[in-house]
Amino acid sequence: MTQIASKSASVSTAPHAEQLFTSYPVQHVEPAAIMRWLRQGWADIKANPSASLTYGIIFALVGILMSMVSAANPAFFVAASTGFLLVGPFLALGLYGLSRQLEQGQTPRFWSSLSSIQENAISLGLYAVILGMIMVFWVRLSAVITGIFFNQMSVDIEGYAGLWNALVTMEQGWMFILAFFSIGLLFALFAFMTGVVTAPMLLERKVDIVTAAATSIRAVQKNPLTMLLWALTITVVIGLGIATFDLGLIIAMPLIAHASWHAYRDMVKDA
């Protein structure tokens, strides 16, 4: 009986064992850390550009394909593009894996970065489902908002030029912009607060999604100004990537993803 008890104790105190609902300490970081995260992210890209830029090319191709498919419905493209920011943290998992490999002194490899997802597949899968549901709900809600404003006014928004002309000429154009982006901002705020460190934390530690999301919320609460500036930085960099006909995503997505890994490292410490 004593031997069994001692074995149980040794298992429960294993140095790498993760517990459900563990509270992880969150550190305060100054806004100046953002530039350091970006420099570290750039250094990660340069360490193995082929692996990082492969992810970037995939993101750019998806963006270009989405632009082509939604050419006749630009409002959908705007909604899907903003929704892309909602699910971005999960889509960048492979890039977090590359940064993790570099941190561990390994040579970053594209395929091995994908395999790291298997270490906490259930929680990561659940997180993907939740983000997917949020994005679908946002895209559907944006369609409702578009319909309310444009259908009532019998305005033709065929193509991007049609959307622009409608926004400029119709009396309620400014109201549509205000409603669309105000509601989108609420979705983005929720996704950012609950996800700023969630994906990299789920990738590195075998924790549950509640623990990761709670840690993310505490990170934002402890660093409100830094996180606000970081959210703006992400929006600007990714926005520029999309604005350059999605080709800029080849650099923008790897840069932000690698930098996000270092942001997570600065803010979340071991329990």
219, pLDDT greater than 60: yes
pLDDT for position 88: 87
pLDDT surpassing 50 at residue 176: yes
Place of tokens 């549509």: 176
Q: Per-residue pLDDT tens for 122-155?
A: 999 999 999 999 999 998 898 888 777 766 555 5
pLDDT for res 27:
96
Going by C-beta distance under 8 Å and a sequence separation of 6 or more, which residues neighbour residue 153? 166, 170, 172
Look at residue 13 and tell me whether its pLDDT is greater than 50.
no
Does residue 74 have a pLDDT over 70? yes
Question: What pLDDT is recorded for position 2?
Answer: 42
pTM score: 0.84
Report the run of H or E that residue 163 belongs to, with start and end: helix 159-169
Better-scored residue on pLDDT, 2 or 25? 25
Half-sphere exposure in the Cβ direction for 32 (13 Å, CA):
0
* Contacts of 94 by beta carbon, 8 Å cutoff, 6+ apart: 55, 110, 113, 114, 117
Q: What percent of the chain has pLDDT over 90?
A: 56
